[in-house]
Structure 1
Amino acid sequence: MEPRPFDPLTRTRTEVTEPYGYFTDLDSGHVLHGGEIRPAYALGAPTPLEVWRRNLEIVTAILTAAGVDFFAVPGFSLTRPVLGAAAADRQRVCTALAMLCESTGGRLSVPEPAFRESELGLSKPEWARRADMGDVPLVRASWLWTDPGRDLLFGPDYGCDVEFWTETGDGHLLAPRHNRISPVVRQSGARVSAPGRLFTALAGGAHADLPHLPTRTEFARPGPDHVGFPVDVVYTWVDGADHAWRRRRADADHSPYHAESDNDARYVDREELRFSLRSLHLNAPWVRHVYLITDRQRPHWLEEGPGLTVVDHRDLFDDPDALPTFNSHAIETQLHRIEGLSEHFLYFNDDMFVGRPVGPQMFFEPNGLARFFPAQTFIDMDPVSRADSPPNAAFKNDRALIDRAFGRTVSRMMKHVPYPLQRSVLAEMEKEFDEEMERTAQSAFRDVTDVSAVTLQHYYAYLSGRAVSGQAQDAYVELGMPDVAERLELLLERRDRETFCINDAGLPPELVEERSALMQRFLEAYFPVASPWEKGLAL
Structure 2
Amino acid sequence: MPDPTSLNSAVHVYQRLVPQPVRSAAATTVPAGVRRKVKRQLARTLSRREARLHSRALRRVRRARLGTSERRVTAPDGRVAHVHTGLTVDLARRLDHDLVTHALDAAEIPWFAVPALDDRRICLAVDVKHKGPVRRVMRALLEEHTGYVVTVSPALSDTRETPGSHVKAWKHFAKARVIRLTWLRTDPTENLWVGEDQGIEIEFWRTNTDLPTERLIGPRPNRVQRAVPSDAPGIEIGMDRLSGYCDIDGDQEPTITLESFDVVRLEEITFPVDAVLIFQHATPWGELLLRAALRSLHQYAPWVDVVHVVAEAEPPAWLNAGDRLGVVRARPGAEWHLHQLPDVADHFLLLRPGALLGRPVRPFDYFTPAGATRPRRGPWTAEESFAPWTRAAYSATGRVTAHGYAHGPQPHRAETLAQFAGTGTATLPLPDAQRLPTVPGTHPLDGVVHHFGYVSGVADPSGEASVALHAALPGIGNHLERLLVRRDSQQMQFTGLDTEEARVGGGVRAVERFLARYYPVPSVFERDDADSGEAGRTS
Residue 146 (structure 2) pairs with residue 105 (structure 1) = yes
Query: Measured at CA, do residues 112 and 241 of structure 1 come closer, stay the same or move farther in structure 2, by a change above 3 Å?
Result: same
Match of 1:462 among 454, 462, 470: 454
Q: What whole-Å deviation, never above 9, does each CA across 1:51-82 have from its counterpart, x for those lacking one?
A: 10001001001111111111011123344211
Q: Distance in 2 between matches of 1:459 and 1:363?
A: 16
Residues 196-207 of structure 1: pairs in structure 2 closer than 5 A: 196-206=239-249
Q: 1:193-224: CA deviations, max 9, x gaps?
A: 22222112122444x75322111112123222
CA distance in 1, matches of 2:378, 2:322: 36
> Residue 484 in 1 paired to residue 476 in 2?
yes
The one-letter amino acid of 2:176's match is V
Q: CA deviation at 1:233?
A: 0.5
Select the residue among 127, 133, 137 that pairs with 1:86.
127
Selected match of 1:95 from 127, 132, 136: 136
- Structure 1 letter corresponding to 2:494: I
User: 1:376/1:100 Cα in 2 relative to 1: closer, same or farther (>3 Å)?
Assistant: same
Contact 1:78 1:357 in 2 (8 A): no
Partner of 1:414: 405
Determine the C-alpha separation between the residues in 1 that align with 2:334 and 2:152.
50
Match of 1:179 in 2: 222
Correspondence 1:6 to 2:48: no
Instruction: Using the TM superposition, name which of 222-231 and 43-52 deviates more.
Output: 222-231
The residue that corresponds to 2:42 in the other structure is none
Give the drift of 1:454. 2.8
Structure 1 residues 97-121: Cα deviation after superposition (integer angstroms, max 9, x where no partner): 012112332222212469xxxxxxx
Give the stretch that moved more between structures: 148-157 or 4-13: 4-13
What is aligned with 2:175? 135
**1:157 correspondence with 2:197:** yes
Asked whether 1:428 is paired with 2:419, we answer: yes
Within a 5 Å distance, the mapping from 1:141-290 to structure 2 comes to 141-169=181-209, 170=211, 171-206=214-249, 209-240=251-282, 269=286, 271-290=288-307
C-alpha separation in 1, matches of 2:68 and 2:296: 28
Letter in 2 for 1:67: E
Say if 2:84 and 2:188, in contact at 8 Å, map to a contact too.
Answer: yes
Matched AA of 2:525: W
* Larger RCO: 1 or 2 (CA < 8 Å, sep 6+): 1
The 5 A counterparts of 1:47-66 are 47-66=88-107
For the 8 Å contact 1:78–1:359, the answer to whether it is kept is no
Deviation at 1:165, TM superposition (A): 1.2
Query: Is the counterpart of residue 342 in structure 1 residue 345 in structure 2?
Result: yes
**Residue of structure 2 equivalent to 1:387:** none
From the superposition, tell whether residues 218 and 345 of structure 1 become closer, same or farther in structure 2 (CA, over 3 Å). Answer: same
Aligned residue identity for 1:56? H
Aligned partner of residue 486 in structure 1, secondary structure:
helix
For residue 508 of structure 2, the aligned residue among 497, 516, 533 is 516
2:175 aligned counterpart, secondary structure: coil
Q: TM-score, normalised by structure 2?
A: 0.75
The one-letter amino acid paired with 1:235 is L
For 1:77, the equivalent position in structure 2 comes to 118
SS of 1:398's partner is helix
Provide Cα deviations, 1:80-107, integer angstroms capped at 9, x if missing partner: 2111111111111122101211233222
Q: Distance in 2 between matches of 1:13 and 1:183?
A: 39
Shift of 1:349: 0.9
Return the match for 1:297 from 272, 296, 314.
Answer: 314
What corresponds to 1:309 in structure 2? 326
Alignment identity in percent? 26
How far apart are 1:520 and its partner, in Å? Answer: 0.7
Instruction: Write the distance in 1 (CA, Å) between the matches of 2:88 and 2:70.
Output: 17
Change (3 A) 1:145 1:110: same
Change (3 A) 1:415 1:295: closer
**Long gaps (5+) in structure 2:** 1-63, 156-171, 436-442, 531-539
Higher deviation after alignment, 222-231 or 393-402: 393-402
**210-219 vs 284-293, which deviates more?**
210-219
CA deviations on 1:476-507 (whole Å, 9 max, x unpaired) are 11112213111111111110111111111795
Question: After the TM superposition, which parts of structure 1 deviate over 4 Å for at least 4 consecutive aligned residues?
Answer: 379-383, 505-508
The one-letter code of the counterpart of 2:510 is L
- Partners of 2:290 and 2:65 lie apart in 1 by 33
TM-score between both structures, scaled by the size of structure 1: 0.75
Alpha-carbon deviations, 1:139-179, whole Å to 9, x = none?
Answer: 22222222122222223422111111122333222222222
Partners of 1:350 and 1:238 lie apart in 2 by: 7
AA matched with 1:421: H
* Runs of 5+ unmatched residues, structure 1: 17-31, 115-131, 243-267, 314-324, 384-391
Give, in whole Å, the separation in 1 of the partners of 2:238 and 2:305: 17
Helix, strand or coil for the counterpart of 2:74? coil
Question: For this pair of structures, how many residues does the alignment match?
Answer: 437
Which residue does 1:250 correspond to in 2? Answer: none
CA RMSD of aligned residues (A): 2.7
Shift of 1:296: 5.8
Letter in 2 for 1:415: A
**Whole-angstrom CA distance in 1 between matches of 2:68 and 2:512:** 34
CA distance in 1, matches of 2:384, 2:509: 39
Shift of residue 273, structure 1, vs aligned partner: 1.0
Structure 2 vs 1, CA of residues 489 and 241 (structure 1 numbering), >3 Å: closer, same or farther? closer
- Counterpart Cα distance in 2 of 1:510 and 1:95: 57
Distance 1:528 1:8, change over 3 A: closer
Q: How many angstroms apart in 2 are the aligned matches of 1:375 and 1:241?
A: 29
Look up the match of 1:254: none
Say which of 372, 375, 381 aligns to 1:372. Answer: 375
